[in-house]
A and B are shown apart, each in its own frame.
Chain A
């Protein structure tokens, strides 16, 4: 199997193993796999509503150019490509790119994976109909500068989906104590609670960045069904927002 250009076969084997890890629902990325259906329900619903697409049709996102920031192994990029979107997956961690490429190739999906950042893409004048900005903002040093770059990446009328973690006692208990220390779903130190952002803070940042926030929902974990679902009321820990760039 070739991964864009000349790559050492031992390297490819390593990437394949890492891709298998990314895509193992019980492995290191189990929390993302558990959250993924809920995130995808929100993303697909918002895109379908904004661009007038019918999700019961094959490849409903044909003709939509989409950027997945912080794409990792491609857990969101692949579903978007399967739905027909033209996908660019960007990750600041270089090692994720060949891993994501190997997996997309196995799945016979065309995805343009790049080792780059939102700021660099904006600088280069790239433009997208949809920007996915999922569980990234709580890791960046300057959220406003980052969201401004995301805004520049959108076509007029474009849609940005942004999810992150709320900052309160409950989110500290759930995301830091629960997820990192008790359940060990995430490595310790994955999140810095001080960088979490409340829904109102995010709303202000989005407006300052020139975007028009149109929707927000909580993503709530139900320990009985062991699954995540969207909630209109409970934004106390994980939440997701949709914003439009007015043209």
Chain B
């Protein structure tokens, strides 16, 4: 059996559905193939996964009709405080304090749980004509030729289209099958993720504490709950993950501090090993990679999804423009436009976050002094500060239309 579509999107995480929606709304036919059954993910309790959505990402979600269903479930970030502190020593002499009052665009971002976002995507995918969502289907083979591309599912079904998009994460089978190699490294660090309830309100403040063993992010969720992303060296993380809940909290308290009052767990705990994984190419004949399949980054500052949605916005705009000009969307010069638009931004950000993490995950006194001075310089220069805030909000650079909140 063979089905014709325009764009075959492999991967049903968030970038894949976002791309499918953007394309289908603009009149292209898209098929999103997800190897997970969808009900389990959307109807589960809080699994600890939450995203820090930049302004630009919120605008894209608005443009593709997803934000109206989740806006009320998202916690706006009013301030971001980045401090360089060692446990039990209190705040370092210098720290960064970014407030949304300093830019005109409103909150600096929103924290939103994965389960809410995915449920909204699933409902929207069912409502938009031209979009086919195939959950619980695995791609086992792909072919590309001069006129088209196809993927073969485990069930034997063959789907045909003009372009294959790999949105299947840092272990992207789509990239592997296309012969695209990856470079990357592990950090020897693992992120411990959990939801923490606290007595005092967080007032919408996100904290990024740079501790010698790795960063601790405290991200505000609706109510008196925060999501933590606590990075530790692998062996330490393994030991902490093995603790029971009470001992886990005992280990967390000196790092978390007592500024939000008493803390307790508000859900299960998870751990994710940290690694950087960059695809050597973002495009191949009739094939493009987006999100972690192109560049799996360290989750510092929550930029992973934001970066992925920038890919989605750029690729959607390139493909839709090609379609409206009558070009073959899978032609090499069309896909090359996406590559040149994205490569610099994504690699720079990935390496920047990597360098930042390496710099801050270090107790060398000279490095410590250097970064304190660097942070102080940023803190003192208003233009530089606004640049940082706008960058964190995803509002700088050559912006695709979707990131301004308009549909294609």
Contacts and interface: CB of A to CB of B under 8 A. Distances in A.
A78 B329 CA distance: 12
Interface stretch (A53-61, A115-123, A140-148): A53-61
A80 interface: yes
Nearest to B130: A58
A106 B326 contact: no
A232 interface: no
Contacts of A36: 327, 333
B147 A37 contact: no
Contacts of A201: none
A83 B326 contact: yes
B328 interface: yes
Contacts, number: 43
B326 A40 contact: yes
A25 B332 contact: yes
Contacts of B325: 37, 40-41, 44, 79
A107 B327 CA distance: 11
Q: How many B residues are at the interface, by size bracket?
A: 10 to 19
A10 interface: no
B147 A79 contact: no
Interface residues of A, number: 23
Interface string A43-59: 01000000000011110
A23 B332 CA distance: 9
Nearest to B27: A56
Contacts of B336: 25
A101 interface: no
Interface in A70-116: 78-83, 106-108
A158 to B, nearest CB: 19
Contacts of B147: 106-108
A12 B205 CA distance: 68
Contacts of B340: 226
A87 B15 CA distance: 38
A181 interface: no
Contact of B333 (A25, A56, A82, A83): A25
Given A25-B336, A108-B147, A56 B324 contact: yes
B146 interface: yes
Interface in B283-327: 321, 324-327
Nearest to B29: A58
A106 B146 CA distance: 7
Contact of A55 (B146, B324, B327, B333): B324
A81 B26 CA distance: 20
A195 interface: no
Nearest to A57: B27
Contacts of A78: 326, 328
Contact of A107 (B26, B328, B332): B328
A191 interface: no
Contacts of B26: 56
A36 B327 CA distance: 9
B284 to A, nearest CB: 14
Interface of A: 23-25, 33, 36-37, 40-41, 44, 55-58, 78-83, 106-108, 226
23 contacts: A25-B331, A25-B332, A25-B333, A25-B336, A36-B327, A36-B333, A37-B321, A37-B327, A40-B325, A41-B325, A44-B324, A56-B27, A57-B27, A58-B27, A79-B325, A79-B326, A80-B326, A81-B326, A82-B328, A83-B326, A106-B147, A107-B146, A108-B147
In the A-B complex, list the 9 residue pairs whose CB atoms are closest, starting with the nearest.
A79-B326, A25-B333, A40-B325, A83-B326, A82-B326, A55-B324, A106-B146, A106-B147, A33-B333
Given A56-B324, A78-B326, 20 more contacts: A24-B332, A33-B333, A36-B333, A37-B325, A37-B327, A40-B327, A41-B325, A44-B324, A44-B325, A44-B326, A56-B27, A58-B27, A78-B328, A79-B326, A79-B327, A82-B328, A106-B147, A107-B146, A107-B147, A108-B147
